[in-house]
């Protein structure tokens, strides 16, 4: 086999053979293919795409590059969820304990934020003592004792993906639908879950900006999951506007606890319950009501046990920023747009996110949203509150928000503003 032949094949928009794909993934994982050669192949795939057969084989090769987890010793059916990432997307935090409270086991392997998108592990690490890195035995133990675990993927799980993702991140090839689909699904299939619900975001704050691209990605991943024996469905959800009222690590943990306590923002509750119902259905559990599990405190009970089982203190005070800056509404009227991407970039510049995987994040940095599209605002009243420990960051964060929102008169808003639903479509 020769990597140059593989590059030329995709450069000329032709199909890679199964043996070529198997060899490329194995050889790159073993360090036999140089990064610049794999970069060229990834760019050719970004530009010319892959057939369904190629994507399926590429995913299988990624899975075979490492170990597979086994949850057959559990007495509960397993169900997992994956989000393609967004701004204010704290859904995993209340969702995992909620689904566990309803009878499923939730092995949630999560990641860290990069750029304008937040990461579940970064959020949870704002809880004093909480650990993201667990051995396979520890993960299984937490899952068995509490019903849910949220942790980082181990090094043995799809190592080809870990290496390839890092390369894609620095070569402008993250947005390739075949490579996104195979990256996500190789880890989820190797994880060993029995069913999977995908939350595929569409909008300014998502990697997929259009519903059409999000639908293509969702369909590709649903096919991959079902082809590998994992019952898979996807919801397409809105990411033009941030989810909830916060974007940032400790800020989002507080908001998640509010949801588990029976409160929280309506959009977060709506999406959490919708995904919970999909996960329970995929796991074959039909006699549980997730809304009741939020209301009666059973989901909160699982949350507290899950956090404690991973070394965290569920009663500890969460970090608060040393400095705040309030952005006020420049006019009175109706807020008709609050751009998720701009808010995400502003939170990132405050220290809530990272430009490179090795960068640290500030646990307390982020943004509070005092209004969402459709709300009336008053000139001079708070619209956003920026949080950081390093006030020199305020200026560049405010710059990112310069075109982030529109305020219209009530008459203009009644003509120009149409709320977009949170759930845009379902792919099964």
Distances (CA, A) of 148 to 103, 142, 298, 313: 10, 7, 13, 16
Question: What residues have CB less than 8 Å from 198, skipping those under 6 apart?
Answer: 81, 82, 83, 84, 184, 218, 221, 222, 232, 233, 234, 235, 427
Domain boundaries in the chain?
3-49, 80-309, 323-416
At which residue do the structure tokens 């949170």 appear?
422
Catalytic residue among 57, 81, 123, 168: 168
pLDDT at 356 over 80: no
pLDDT at 118 over 90: no
Multiple choice CATH, 323-416, 3.40.50.150, 3.40.190.10, 3.30.390.10, 3.90.1170.30 = 3.90.1170.30
At which residue do the structure tokens 């030329």 appear?
8
Residue 358 confidence (pLDDT): 75
In 49-176, which residue ranges form alpha helices assigned H by DSSP?
A: 52-64, 92-101, 120-124, 136-146, 159-169
For the question of residue 187 being annotated catalytic, the response is yes
For the question of residue 82 being annotated catalytic, the response is yes
Mean of all residue pLDDT scores within the chain? 95
Segment 19-66, tens digit of pLDDT: 999 999 999 999 999 999 999 999 999 999 999 999 999 999 999 999
Residue 348 confidence (pLDDT): 95
Question: Which fold does the domain 80-309 belong to in CATH?
Answer: Pyrimidine Nucleoside Phosphorylase; Chain A, domain 2 (3.40.1030)
Residue 149: closest CA among 367, 25, 326, 305? 305
Q: How confident is the model at residue 243 (pLDDT cuts 50, 70, 90)?
A: very high
Catalytic residue among 126, 176, 183, 321: 183
Question: What residues have CB less than 8 Å from 73, skipping those under 6 apart?
Answer: 140, 144
CA-CA distance, 154 to 390, in Å (whole number)?
Answer: 33
pLDDT at 354 over 80: yes
Q: How confident is the model at residue 166 (pLDDT cuts 50, 70, 90)?
A: confident
Residue 355 confidence (pLDDT): 76
Axis-axis angle for helices 298-309, 92-101 (nearest 10): 110
For the chain, give the longest Cα–Cα distance.
Answer: 66
Residue 111 confidence (pLDDT): 87
pLDDT at 154 over 90: no
Catalytic residue among 161, 199, 240, 339: 161
For the question of residue 168 being annotated catalytic, the response is yes
Catalytic residue among 81, 82, 112, 349: 82
At which residue do the structure tokens 């593989």 appear?
6
Task: Determine the CATH number of domain 3-49.
Answer: 1.20.970.10
CA-CA distance, 161 to 41, in Å (whole number)?
Answer: 15
pLDDT at 412 over 80: yes
Contact 190, 67 (CB under 8 A): yes
Segment 277-303, tens digit of pLDDT: 999 999 999 999 999 999 999 999 999
The Cβ of residue 154 has, within 10 Å, a number of other Cβ atoms equal to 18
Q: How confident is the model at residue 169 (pLDDT cuts 50, 70, 90)?
A: confident
Residue 287 confidence (pLDDT): 94
- Six token digits for residue 231: 């019952």
CA-CA distance, 271 to 106, in Å (whole number)?
Answer: 17
Phi then psi for residue 195, to 5 deg, are: -145, 155
For residues 310-324, average pLDDT:
98
Catalytic residue among 57, 187, 231, 245: 187
Which pTM was predicted?
0.94
């Amino acid at each position: 086999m020769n990597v140059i032949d593989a590059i030329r094949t995709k450069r000329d928009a032709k199909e890679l053979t199964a043996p070529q794909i198997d060899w490329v993934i194995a050889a790159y994982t073993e360090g036999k293919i140089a990064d610049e050669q794999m970069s060229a192949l990834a760019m050719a795939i970004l530009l010319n795409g892959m057939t369904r057969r190629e994507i399926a084989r590429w995913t299988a090769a990624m899975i075979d590059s490492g170990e597979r987890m086994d949850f057959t010793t559990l007495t509960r059916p397993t169900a997992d969820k994956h989000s393609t990432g967004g701004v204010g997307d704290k859904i995993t935090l209340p969702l995992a304990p909620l689904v566990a409270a309803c009878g499923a086991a939730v092995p949630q392997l999560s990641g860290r934020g990069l750029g304008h998108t937040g990461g579940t592990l970064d959020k949870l690490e704002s809880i004093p003592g909480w650990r993201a890195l667990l051995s396979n035995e520890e993960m299984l133990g937490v899952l068995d004792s509490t019903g849910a675990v949220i942790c980082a993927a181990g090094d043995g799980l799809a190592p080809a993906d870990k290496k390839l993702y890092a390369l894609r991140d620095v070569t402008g090839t993250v947005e390739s639908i075949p490579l996104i689909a195979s990256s996500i699904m190789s880890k989820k299939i190797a994880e060993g879950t029995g069913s999977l619900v995908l939350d595929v975001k569409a909008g300014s704050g998502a990697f997929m900006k259009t519903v059409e691209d999000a639908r293509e990605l969702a369909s590709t991943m649903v096919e991959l999951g079902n082809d590998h024996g994992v019952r898979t469905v996807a919801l397409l959800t809105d990411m033009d506007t941030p989810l909830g009222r916060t974007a940032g690590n400790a800020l989002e943990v507080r908001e998640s606890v509010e949801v588990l306590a029976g409160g929280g923002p309506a959009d977060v509750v709506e999406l959490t319950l919708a995904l919970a119902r999909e996960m329970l259905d995929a796991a074959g559990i039909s006699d549980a009501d997730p809304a009741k599990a939020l209301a009666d405190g059973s989901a909160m009970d699982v949350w507290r046990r899950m956090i404690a089982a991973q070394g965290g203190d569920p009663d500890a005070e969460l970090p608060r920023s040393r400095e705040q800056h309030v952005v006020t509404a420049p006019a009175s009227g109706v807020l008709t747009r609050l751009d998720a991407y701009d808010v995400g970039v502003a939170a990132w510049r405050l220290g809530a996110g990272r430009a490179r995987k090795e960068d640290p994040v500030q646990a307390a940095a982020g943004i509070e949203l005092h209004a969402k599209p459709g709300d009336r605002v008053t000139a001079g009243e708070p619209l956003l509150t920026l949080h950081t420990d390093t006030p020199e960051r305020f200026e560049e964060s405010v710059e990112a928000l310069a075109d982030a929102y529109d305020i219209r008169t009530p008459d203009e808003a009644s003509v120009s503003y149409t709320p977009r639903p949170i759930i845009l479509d379902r792919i099964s």
